[in-house]
Structure 1
Amino acid sequence: MITPPLPVNEKDRLAAVKEYNLLNTLPEKDFDVITKLTASICKVPISLVTLLDSDTNFLKSHHGIPFNESPRDISFCGHAILDDSDIFIVEDARKDERFHDNPLVLEHQAIFYAGVPLRNEEGYPLGTLCIFDTKPRTLDETQKSALHALAYQVINLFEARKRNNELRKVRQALEAQNLELKNFAGIVSHDMKMPLANMIVTSDILKVKYGKQLDFQGRKYLDYLKQSSFTLSEYITGLLEHYESEKLVSANSERFDIHHLLEEIVDLLNINVDCEINLPENNVELHCSRAALEQILLNLIGNSLKYNDKEKIVIDIDCWKDKDFYYFKLSDNGIGIPKNKQKEIFDLFTIVGNLDRNGKKGNGIGLSTVKKLITGLGGDIKVSSKVNEGTVFEFTIAN
């Protein structure tokens, strides 16, 4: 018996094998289907998908034998990965000096062998798709072609597993970063909102107590300080709502009707301008996260109120359902959204640039939170708008 030598690039080859995270893993149907098909096409009792580790020939799939690994130094596959041909064939191992006294031949009657090296994109042979028979034989061209095709599919499965592992790692990293952002948002809320409240109160006290001693510009600075504190406080609140939106999505579903919810929202908004809000013609009964839908509608109706330059604001709201979704449509006669901005408005921190009814600029958080909530509820949202004419938001929520 001749022990297969190590490839000259063995260190790099082993590193490539380990990248796939397939060593010492459980059987998988995708691989087992291939070995079963391979054995059937080639008319042999044994078919394997192997991966060569430093000392072990690991059998990722083993059709026709009960074990899932063997020593690398007696493996046929160790020789196969060194061969320059597309397929390594041993027609009768008993007549081959490399294998005639090999334990696999003497104890398990491994007489015939054919293996196709499984090479990754960098060209490293990771293992083989191979077959064994207990008698001498040959393969016809159709069987050889099928063996190559099936080996190609094994490599595709390897690559898919590798990509899935990489995506899983990216997802875990993103989840960790998102958690850090949530924790940061909580710290910001706790540590900054109280000082901001103190600044607002202090500016009012200064204006009342020392206002007569200040000139017009001094009083204007105090107003600016107060307004800036309010703006920053609203920004922090919006950021918190964005990162805590999952809590609203996962809240228990409730049964409620759309009219009652919208009436409560209108009361919460405390509208002090000339405004007509038309509720849905039919009072639809809903069963979903009430808190999440309330936050969505608060944001959308609030925007229709803020970004409107008409003497009379008109907001039309409609709602209907089928067996799969609840449908919502909210339209207004506001300032509208430029067409080149309509695809971006749901991205976090994206600002259209328009000032609201009170001359304030948005923070680019509200619509991003709306999108996140709707996606979490199994729905989608789209917008259509014409500048100076109005905007229509249409969204769905899974029923």
Structure 2
Amino acid sequence: MKTPEIPLNEFSRLKALKEYSILDTLPEKEYDDITQLASQICGTPISSISLIDEKRQWFKSKVGLDVDQTGRDVSFCGHAIMEPDQIFTVKDSRLDERFQDNPLVVGDPQVVFYTGVPLVSPDGFALGTLCVIDDKPKELNRDQMMALKALSNQVVSLFELRKSKIQLERLTKDLENRNKELEKFARVAAHDIKSPLNNISGLTDILLHQYGEELDEEAKSMMLMLDDSSQTLRELVDGILEHSKSDHIVKENRQVFSLNKLIDQCVKLLDNRQEYRFIKDFDDTLIAVNKVALQQILLNLMGNAIKYNDKSEVEIRICFKEDPTFYCFKVQDNGLGIEEKYQKAIFDIFETVAQKDRFGKKGSGIGLSTVKKLVEGLGGSIQVKSIIGEGTTFEFSIAKQDFL
């Protein structure tokens, strides 16, 4: 008997094999179907998907074998992997000095005929074989050999799919951990930044009230500018924190609620002095969606409709309809409008178009990015249509699902 040689690239070959994390895994139907098919096509009682590690050949799938592994030193597959680009065939092992006294030949399972197709990774490493075995001399025809080669390619494809899935799971877990760290950082940073900003704003207010008469107009103007800058920075921090939390908002449970009541709640939050005209262009209905996410979307779009409006009478129309698949919304205003060349960019984070809003403040460019993130997280999409001087319409959809 001749013991199989060790490939020159053995270290890299074993590394490639272990990257698939497939050794000692449970049986899987996809692999068992391939070995069954190999036996049927080749007319052999035994077939296997064999993987060669440091000291053994381990069977991922097998037909006609009672053991899960054998020693590498007695394996036929150990010889087969030495020539990755060749199909290894032994027509009668009893006449071959390499195998005639091999324990697998003289004892069970009495391997007389063997053909193994190396399972070669995309990087060229022979991981093992797809092999067929008989206890009497045999020779495969050309069609059988081609079929066996095609089946071996399918085995490698399954290995690659497995590795891709493992890599994706690791990447997903890594991203989840990074997101958690980023959210924690955002909360800490928001607190650490807002605390001194609140102090600045508070001190500015005290100075203006207690010492206002002693300050000249230029000093008062600078104090007001300082207070305004502090408020702007606080709003920016809040916006970033809100954006970072949007993924968690989407994951919250959905609930059934009245759309009319939700719109009323939004209006009260945005217009407690009843300065603006809101039109609800829909019949009240119960909907089943993530209420927190929808409220966040509507507050942002309705708030923008107020802020970026130059009309003496601000008019905002909220429309709703549904089809079998989606809830569809429109938020229309009679405001400034958005030039067509900017209509895509407004959904990018930190992108702003208007220099200042109705109240003389510059936007942060975070709100619409958060809206888009929430809408897409709810399985929908958002578009904008606008005419300069006439107004803007935001249309968005939310995917329906069975309510549990």
TM-score exceeds 0.5:
yes
Match of 1:20 in 2: 20
Match of 1:162 in 2: 163
Once structures 1 and 2 are overlaid, which stretch shifts more, 96-105 or 163-172?
163-172
Q: State the alpha-carbon separation in 2 of the partners of residues 351 and 127 from structure 1.
A: 58
Match of 2:282 in 1: 281
**Given the superposition, is the C-alpha separation of residues 315 and 147 from structure 1 closer, same or farther in structure 2, using an over 3 Å criterion?**
same
**Equivalent AA in structure 2 for residue 148 of structure 1:** K
What SS does structure 1 have at the residue aligned with 2:346?
A: coil
What SS does structure 2 have at the residue aligned with 1:244?
A: helix
Deviation at 1:134, TM superposition (A): 1.7
The 8 Å contact of residues 274 and 311 in structure 1, kept in 2 or not, is answered as no
Once structures 1 and 2 are overlaid, which stretch shifts more, 262-271 or 295-304?
262-271
Deviation at 1:216, TM superposition (A): 2.3
**Given the superposition, is the C-alpha separation of residues 238 and 21 from structure 1 closer, same or farther in structure 2, using an over 3 Å criterion?**
same
Q: State the alpha-carbon separation in 2 of the partners of residues 188 and 85 from structure 1.
A: 58
The 8 Å contact of residues 84 and 118 in structure 2, kept in 1 or not, is answered as no
Match of 1:152 in 2: 153
**Equivalent AA in structure 1 for residue 263 of structure 2:** L
Match of 1:143 in 2: 144
Q: State the alpha-carbon separation in 2 of the partners of residues 14 and 161 from structure 1.
A: 17
What SS does structure 2 have at the residue aligned with 1:345?
A: helix
Match of 1:174 in 2: 175
The 8 Å contact of residues 278 and 316 in structure 1, kept in 2 or not, is answered as yes
The 8 Å contact of residues 327 and 397 in structure 2, kept in 1 or not, is answered as yes
Match of 1:254 in 2: 255
Deviation at 1:354, TM superposition (A): 4.3
Deviation at 1:194, TM superposition (A): 2.9
The 8 Å contact of residues 284 and 320 in structure 1, kept in 2 or not, is answered as no
Match of 2:100 in 1: 100
Deviation at 1:88, TM superposition (A): 0.7
- How high is the TM-score relative to the length of structure 2? 0.92
**Equivalent AA in structure 1 for residue 26 of structure 2:** L
Match of 1:76 in 2: 76
Match of 1:305 in 2: 306
Once structures 1 and 2 are overlaid, which stretch shifts more, 163-172 or 242-251?
242-251
For structure 1, the 5+ residue unaligned runs are none
The 8 Å contact of residues 333 and 391 in structure 2, kept in 1 or not, is answered as yes
Establish whether residue 373 from structure 1 lines up as the match of residue 369 from structure 2.
Answer: no
Q: State the alpha-carbon separation in 2 of the partners of residues 114 and 183 from structure 1.
A: 58
Q: State the alpha-carbon separation in 2 of the partners of residues 44 and 353 from structure 1.
A: 76
Deviation at 1:218, TM superposition (A): 1.5
Once structures 1 and 2 are overlaid, which stretch shifts more, 173-182 or 213-222?
213-222
Deviation at 1:46, TM superposition (A): 1.9
Q: State the alpha-carbon separation in 2 of the partners of residues 354 and 37 from structure 1.
A: 69
Q: State the alpha-carbon separation in 2 of the partners of residues 330 and 354 from structure 1.
A: 22
What SS does structure 2 have at the residue aligned with 1:169?
A: helix
Match of 1:383 in 2: 384
Once structures 1 and 2 are overlaid, which stretch shifts more, 267-276 or 35-44?
267-276
Match of 2:395 in 1: 394
Establish whether residue 290 from structure 1 lines up as the match of residue 302 from structure 2.
Answer: no
What SS does structure 2 have at the residue aligned with 1:99?
A: coil
**Equivalent AA in structure 1 for residue 278 of structure 2:** I
Once structures 1 and 2 are overlaid, which stretch shifts more, 174-183 or 22-31?
22-31
Q: Deviations over 1:233-282 (max 9, x none)?
A: 11222222222234433444333222211111111012669633211231
**Equivalent AA in structure 1 for residue 102 of structure 2:** N
